[in-house]
């Protein structure tokens, strides 16, 4: 369980606002991802068990690099590939350095590309990213004001 600090709440505010225009994949889409990748990491092919902490749903292109939450940008990944090794790097470059359990680099790259093309096209929302970020910043500063007011009322 997370502790509900002000910093945690600000992250949730951001994610919820982004989620309005770029929602997370549905449970049904996640189910088909598990099936498609045969319950294995898309990069190194290590076996994954659903619900375990080491099983991740990675962003092929990270959000920091402008990747979306859409299913076509998501693959199954183990905690090692997702966290320690890949981070914000290009997934193709990362894949060349990772050995698969069963398949060559080419086969794994092809599997990921076929996954992407099997997914429905992302709906273009015509989102103005600057506008979205501006709205998120506004919501966060309103939150900051509330936090400051509450803290002040507690001490006086």
- Contacts to Zn ion by CB under 5 A: 41, 43-44, 78, 81
Q: Which is nearer to Zn ion, 78 or 119 (CB)?
A: 78
Nearest approach in angstroms of CB 94 to Zn ion is 10
Closer to Zn ion by Cβ: residue 41 or 119: 41
For 127, half-sphere exposure in the C-beta direction (CA atoms, 13 angstrom radius) is: 19
Nearest approach in angstroms of CB 76 to Zn ion is 9
* Smallest gap from residue 40 Cβ to Zn ion (A): 8
> 94 vs 143, which CB is nearer to Zn ion?
94
Rounded CA-CA distance 8/4 in Å is 6
In whole angstroms, give the CA distance from residue 27 to residue 35: 12
Alpha helices in the chain (DSSP H): 6-21, 27-36, 79, 91-97, 105-118, 129-155
């Amino acid at each position: 369980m997370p502790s509900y600090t002000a910093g945690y709440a600000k992250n949730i505010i951001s994610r919820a606002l982004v989620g309005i225009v770029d929602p997370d994949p549905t449970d049904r889409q996640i189910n088909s991802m598990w099936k498609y990748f045969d319950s294995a990491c898309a990069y190194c092919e290590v076996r994954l068990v659903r619900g375990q902490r080491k099983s991740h749903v990675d962003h092929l292109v990270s959000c920091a690099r402008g990747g979306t939450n859409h299913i076509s940008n998501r693959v199954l990944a183990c905690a090692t590939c997702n966290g320690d090794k890949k981070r914000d790097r290009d997934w193709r470059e990362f894949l060349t350095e990772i050995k698969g359990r069963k398949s060559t680099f080419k086969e794994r790259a092809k599997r990921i590309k076929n996954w992407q093309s099997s997914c429905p096209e992302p709906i273009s929302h015509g989102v103005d990213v600057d506008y979205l970020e501006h709205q998120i910043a506004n919501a966060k500063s309103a939150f900051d004001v509330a936090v400051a007011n509450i803290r002040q009322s507690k001490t006086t």
